[in-house]
Structure 1
Amino acid sequence: MRVSRSKSTYILAGLLAVGVLADVALVRSGLIINVTPSMPIGLYRLSSLPRRLHDGMIVYLCPPSPARNLAMAQAAQGKWLLTSPRSPCPSHLVPFLKKIGATPGQTVTLTMRGTSIDGHLLPATAIKRFAKNGQPMIHQKPGSYLMGPRQVWVWDNSSPWAYDSRYWGPLPVANILKQARPVLTW
């Protein structure tokens, strides 16, 4: 059976409308669906941030502004990150999930082979020298970083291509929008 072009357009528009309505309904109910490799794929519940952040906490965050961060500018230009005019982030980059690795007062040691927090190596945190397209990746300079009073270091090891503080550096606490807890992931 062949569907006419006009019917296909209506079907596509209808599916898009249903997707937008589902997205709005999920966000209003405090739920998001993660389909990025930044954390395990699945459904997450968002909630207010506690008074104290801690390592291991999953957060929903605005990435650093590409206007002020070379690594993020590279990611935006390479379309490694999604944008949306509805994004709550000043740069219109879509927020995403990461784990907090270090909080204020902790020391991060970054080498090409991995990231250590207060001397404890985080698994699968080696810096990728090249992007999937072969382009050299901008990353933080190896060395030690003491997290300031309003900074955290975020990371993830669920994908070898996770894009996190190894590349763009410490994240201002003000960029964290919500705490996230997995509801159903795979």
Structure 2
Amino acid sequence: MRFWLLALLPLLLFPLGLRVNLTRSMPVGLYWLDSNNPTRGDFVTFCAPERWGTAGYTGRGLCPGDTKPLLKQLCAVPGDTVEIAQDGQVLINGQLIQDSQALTIDRAGHVLSSDLDAGVVPAGFGLAFGRSTASFDSRYFGLVPLGAMRRAIFLIPFSLME
């Protein structure tokens, strides 16, 4: 019974702009997609760049390549400075993003590369990170167009895993 409810839940909530996150890279719960432009610190949803999405890191969904949108936190906006320390940790405007170094191998043993470059974030782009060291985010695919992001308001936390 619980499985059928989980399978139907996205279909019922989608037209209302509601989304459910069950991944560990962001808080588990119910989110509402807002039409306002995202700002630093907001949760955002967007499609991974197609070459990454089709690599199997996102699951099935409504993005190009039949992949699932990502839910991350917008950590850097235009004008912010991104640095990459010797140990691979990312700093934004001199502030360390804890546990932000990119992994070199995924859970399946495949080699990962990073498209993230140091420098000033240009107009129209942002940097989005998950809260897990294993999160698939800007560590790997780099900057994301702000126009491709939707702000996601965290409404209700819950855990279906317990």
TM-score by length of 2: 0.84
Map of 2:111 onto structure 1:
136
Whichever of the two has the greater Rg, that structure is 1
Does 2:155 correspond to 1:180? no
Number of the residue aligned with 2:59: 82
Structure 1 residue 124 and structure 2 residue 96: aligned? Answer: no
**Who is 1:24 aligned against?**
11
Q: 1:181 to 1:139 in 2, by over 3 A?
A: same
Residues 61, 181 of structure 1: alpha-carbon distance in 2 compared, 3 angstrom cutoff:
same
Mapped partners of 1:42, 1:76: distance in 2: 26
Give the conservation status (yes or no) of the 8 Å contact 2:58–2:70: no
2:12 aligns to what SS in structure 1? helix
Identity %: 26
Moved over 2 A (4+): 18-22, 89-92, 110-113
Partner of 2:137: 164
What residue identity is the alignment partner of 1:168?
A: F
Name the aligned partner's letter for residue 70 of structure 2. F
Q: What does 1:25-174 align with in structure 2 at a 5 Å threshold?
A: 25-50=12-37, 53-66=38-51, 72=52, 76-77=54-55, 79-84=56-61, 87=62, 89-111=63-85, 112-140=87-115, 143-157=117-131, 159-174=132-147
Aligned-partner Cα distance in 2 for 1:171–1:20: 29
> Hey, what's the Cα distance between the residues in 1 that align with 2:54 and 2:99?
24
Listed one character per residue, the Cα deviations across residues 1-24 of structure 1 (whole Å, up to 9, x for unaligned) are xxxxxxxxxx9xxx65x5554322
Shift of 1:163: 1.0
Q: 1:44 Cα shift?
A: 1.1
For the Cα contact (< 8 Å) 1:101–1:153, is it kept in 2?
Answer: yes
| Residue type of the alignment partner of 2:59 | L
Q: Which amino acid in the other structure matches residue 54 of structure 1? A: T
Rounded to whole Å, the distance in 2 between the matches of 1:129 and 1:20 is 33
Is contact 2:31-2:153 (8 Å) kept? Answer: yes
